[in-house]
Each structure stands twice: as C-alpha cells, then as structure tokens.
A and B are shown apart, each in its own frame.
Chain A
Amino acid sequence: MLLYRVFARPQKHSVYMRQIIFEINNIGISSLPIIVIISVFMGGIITIQSAHAIDSPLVPLYAVGFTTRESIMLEFSPTIVCLILAGKVGSNIASEIGAMRITEQIDALEIMGINSAGYLIFPKIAAAVFIFPFLIALSMFLGILGGYIMGVSSGACTAYQYIYGIQAFFDPGKLYYSFTKVLVFAFIITSVSAYFGYNTRGGALEVGKSSTSAVVYSSVLILLFSLILTELFINH
C-alpha cells in the first residue's frame, strides 16, 4: 500500500527532480568518505591475507591479485559495502522521516494535498538506485588499488604479478551479477528504512527504535537476497 503511494504519478515533476538531485548528494556524495576509507583498507587487508595464505610454491603469486579482485568484485563491494550503507543511509532515512512524522511535518504535507509518501520516499529510492552503482564501482576500483599498494609495498607480490592476477580469468558476466545485487540492495535499504520511518508513532524513543529496526531488517534482507541472487546467478 505504501509502495503504491510511493510510485504514484508525481504531482510536480520539477519538484521531484530537485528532490532527487538533493538526495543523490545526501545519500550518495556524503557517503564517499566512508566508502573510500573502507575500500582502500579492505583491499589491502584482503591482499595481505591472500598472500599469507598462499604458501605453496605450486600456486603462482598472481593468485594474490586474482583473489583480491574476485573477493572485492563479487562480495566485498556489492554486499559488505551495502551493509555498511544500510547502517549509514538506512538509519539516516528512518530517523529523518520518523522525526518528520512525530513533528507533524508529514501531516502538514498531507493537509496541503501532497502525496507525502511519494514526495518523501520516491526521490530517496530513485537517488539510491541511480548513485549506488557508481559508489560500488568506485569501491571496487579503490579496493583493488588498495590491494596493489599493500601487496607491492609489503613485498607480497610484484606489481606485474598483481596486475596480471587482477586481469586473469576475468568474466564480465560477474559484473552483471554484482551490479544487479547493488540495484536490489539500494532498493531494499531505502524502501525498508523509509517504511520504518514513515510508520513511526510516538516520540524520540520511537524514532530511535525505527532507526534500529530499519538497519536490522535492511541488513537481514540484504543477506537473504545476496544468497538468493548468488544461487540464481552463479549456479544457474
């Protein structure tokens, strides 16, 4: 029912467009620092752990680059980064809309004759679905770059071995799998969080509870859909 109102015809396209651009900045651009830091560090950590685990002379050292790429591209960037975004973006959306609910700002929109669900939630979903793939692509690039820096500087592998590794056995179809997951997760994070925020009743305590529920349910759903999509894409 809420989603039906969210996707109802926009009352004024120019206002919705302005909101979408605002949300791209609010949801996407403001998440850049955390994505940059986490991706670079995780790329480095994965590389060191991979190099440490490969102690057999039968396994070539370019496997370090290969393992880092696969880990980052298939799971770290699409799933783990989205889980982190569920915490940051999800709690932000739920608390923002929840606070609007308890301070009667949503009632004010309704009385003006505005579809509050459409005006508040649709731009967030649209912005996330648009900007998340760019954020995750950046995360993939930075993760692999972080792995290169740590791998080469620590002597775990040479620059040539690492670059050869990240190019080895590359299947572009896996990118399709990764970005499909990202789109699904972007929708889950924004819609679930908005649902909990929109249905907040009470005071500040309930806003906090909505925020917590939004993160918990989004995270569980992300993991569930990650499993389903992995099964669908990898095994079929």
Chain B
Amino acid sequence: MIEIRNINKTFDDRQVVKDVSFTFYKGKTNLIIGESGCGKTTILKLMVGLHKADSGEILYDGQNFPKLSVNEQETVRKKIGMLFQGGALFDSQTLEENVQFPLDMFTDLTKAEKLERVNFCLEKVQLVGKNKLYPAELSGGMKKRAALARAIANNPSYLFCDEPNSGLDPKTSIVIDNLIKNITEEFNITTIIVTHDMNSVIEIGDNIMFVHKGENWWTGDKSQILKTTNKELFDFVFASEFMKQVLGTPQK
C-alpha cells in the first residue's frame, strides 16, 4: 500500500500539485485520472522520486520515502516496476536483455534461471519467441508489453504505469489494461496508473483519484464515476457525445 499525504510541488512559482492526499491499495488497480496538464504525471514522478516534493509525505508500506537515506531509497526502488509512456526500453539491448537487466543488476540467479524468468515474463505479456528482437523492431503495443515484462521481471511490490494506452488502438489498449489488471491481482501488487483514457477507467478502475488543477478533486471507483454529480469530473467523463450515448448522461 502507498499513501500520499498533503504533497505539494511548485515549478517556477507555479504550483502544479496542491495538497494532494490519497491511498493506493495493494492488489488493486489505482488510477490517477485528469485532463492533460492537470498534474497527474507530476504526482507519479513525485511518488517514484523523479521529482522532489516541496512538502508532504509519501509512505511506502509506512516508510516515508523522501525522508529515507539514499541506501534505504535504493532498497525501496528495487521493489518498484515502472511502465513509461514511451516504454523507455534500452535501444541497444534486445528484448531478452531488456527484461533480464533488473535480474542482472539485483539478483545472483544463474544464467538458466534468469532466462527462465525472462521467458516467464514474456509469456505473461504474450511476447513469447520475440526474445532476440530490438526495440526498434517492435510495434507500439509490443513495446508497451515488453516494458511491462521488464517492470515485473524482479517481482515488484509496486507497479507504476504512465499513460500505458497512449498511442495505441482501442483493441491493443484493452489488452494492455487487462494484462496490468491480471498481473496486479495475480502477484498482489500495488498498481498505480496515470491515464486519461476513459475506456481504462471503465475497464479497470478499482480505486480512482480525479485530479483537477493539481488538486485531488474526487475519489471513488468505476461504478461511482458514471453517477458523478461533480461538475468538473462530469465534464471530463462525458466530454464526447459518444460517451454520453454509450453510458447515458446522468443527472447533473
């Protein structure tokens, strides 16, 4: 479980995260949603330590991450898997080497054991037999799945996904969403997904935080979001005529 308490972040006199608090539960897909530029990716980067919060607490199973020593932070980081928006696969390495990389760095497994683990992860993301391909030879969806395989290679306790569906067609998006949900439940991971894709929200939103202008504007789950009376969330969810027709417009 990860808790964030009253976190704030300012860039050049512009406060992009305002006193945000939320709890991300273990074994559930926790979503941070909101329109572009609302601060959701900044919140994610604050949580993983890529940005430093001006104030507030980020608790990984009770440990306040920003206050830990460098070595203690490294220990926590080893339990984190992250799926970046663009995949962030290492270009000079094959798919197999990419997935094996965390195992090379942090485990003393034998070569055969590492290969077994790599193949297990590739099987989980439906990329069996693609071991020797380079990232440049993969499609967008395959890159996302490969990055997901690397993220889970070292048995993470926390999985962060930044816009996992961006640039993908609806069918592939659903494949990625379901993969993340299955992995979360099967390995009992605390998963945090940043997205603005309403399909993902409806499909896998166990625990949702809606961010508006850097603030935690609304919290709930996928069943509650469709009945919302919150104006800003309503405008976000039912932004398109299509969503209104498919989901039906609730009363404001």
Residue A114 lies at the interface, judged by CB distance under 8 Å to chain B: yes
With A111-B48, A111-B50 as known contacts, state yes or no: A15 contacts B86, CB within 8 Å.
no
Interface residues on chain A, size class? 10 to 19
- In the assembled complex, which residues on chain A have CB atoms less than 8 Å from the CB atom of B74? 113
Once the chains bind, are B50 and A113 in contact (CB under 8 Å)? no
Residue B137 lies at the interface, judged by CB distance under 8 Å to chain A: no
Once the chains bind, are B77 and A108 in contact (CB under 8 Å)? no
Residue A70 lies at the interface, judged by CB distance under 8 Å to chain B: no
Residues of chain A in range 9-24 having any CB-CB distance to chain B below 8 Å: 11-12, 14-15
Taken residue by residue from 1 to 42, chain A's Cβ proximity to chain B (1 for < 8 Å, 0 otherwise) reads as: 000000000011011000000000000000000000000000
- How far apart are B111's CB and chain A's nearest CB, in angstroms? 12
A105 to B90, CA, bound (A): 6
Once the chains bind, are B78 and A113 in contact (CB under 8 Å)? yes
- How far apart are A97's CB and chain B's nearest CB, in angstroms? 12
Instruction: Tell which of B73, B84, B154 has the most Cβ of chain A within 10 Å.
Output: B84
Residue B239 lies at the interface, judged by CB distance under 8 Å to chain A: no
Once the chains bind, are B82 and A111 in contact (CB under 8 Å)? yes
Taken residue by residue from 104 to 117, chain A's Cβ proximity to chain B (1 for < 8 Å, 0 otherwise) reads as: 11011011111000
Residue A103 lies at the interface, judged by CB distance under 8 Å to chain B: yes
Once the chains bind, are B88 and A108 in contact (CB under 8 Å)? yes
Residue B80 lies at the interface, judged by CB distance under 8 Å to chain A: yes
Once the chains bind, are B104 and A12 in contact (CB under 8 Å)? yes
Once the chains bind, are A103 and B77 in contact (CB under 8 Å)? no
A-B contact number at CB 8 A: 56
With A103-B86, A104-B85, A111-B48 as known contacts, state yes or no: A15 contacts B104, CB within 8 Å.
yes
With A12-B104, A12-B105, A15-B104 as known contacts, state yes or no: A108 contacts B84, CB within 8 Å.
yes
Residues of chain A in range 98-143 having any CB-CB distance to chain B below 8 Å: 99-100, 103-105, 107-108, 110-114
- How far apart are A219's CB and chain B's nearest CB, in angstroms? 26
Residue of A nearest to B85 (CB): A104
Residue B140 lies at the interface, judged by CB distance under 8 Å to chain A: no
Taken residue by residue from 84 to 102, chain A's Cβ proximity to chain B (1 for < 8 Å, 0 otherwise) reads as: 0000000000000001100
Residues of chain B in range 88-135 having any CB-CB distance to chain A below 8 Å: 88-91, 101-102, 104-106
- In the assembled complex, which residues on chain B have CB atoms less than 8 Å from the CB atom of A108? 82, 84, 88, 90
A100 to B106, CA, bound (A): 21
Once the chains bind, are A107 and B88 in contact (CB under 8 Å)? yes
- How far apart are A15's CB and chain B's nearest CB, in angstroms? 5
Residue B75 lies at the interface, judged by CB distance under 8 Å to chain A: yes
A136 to B69, CA, bound (A): 45
- In the assembled complex, which residues on chain B have CB atoms less than 8 Å from the CB atom of A110? 49-50, 77
- In the assembled complex, which residues on chain A have CB atoms less than 8 Å from the CB atom of B77? 110-113
- In the assembled complex, which residues on chain A have CB atoms less than 8 Å from the CB atom of B160? 111
- How far apart are B152's CB and chain A's nearest CB, in angstroms? 12
Once the chains bind, are B104 and A103 in contact (CB under 8 Å)? no
- In the assembled complex, which residues on chain A have CB atoms less than 8 Å from the CB atom of B88? 103-105, 107-108
Residues of chain B in range 206-242 having any CB-CB distance to chain A below 8 Å: none
Residue of B nearest to A115 (CB): B74
Taken residue by residue from 59 to 82, chain B's Cβ proximity to chain A (1 for < 8 Å, 0 otherwise) reads as: 000000000000001111110101
Counting from the closest, the 10 A-B pairs by CB-CB distance are A113-B77, A108-B88, A104-B88, A113-B74, A113-B78, A104-B84, A111-B82, A105-B88, A111-B48, A15-B104
Instruction: List 4 other contacts, CB 8 Å, given A103-B88, A105-B90, A113-B78.
Output: A15-B104, A99-B91, A105-B89, A108-B84
A-B contact pairs, 23 of them (CB 8 A): A15-B104, A100-B90, A100-B91, A103-B88, A103-B91, A104-B85, A105-B88, A108-B82, A108-B88, A108-B90, A110-B49, A110-B77, A111-B49, A112-B77, A112-B82, A112-B101, A112-B106, A112-B154, A113-B73, A113-B75, A113-B76, A113-B78, A113-B80
A residues touching B (Cβ–Cβ < 8 Å)? 11-12, 14-15, 99-100, 103-105, 107-108, 110-114
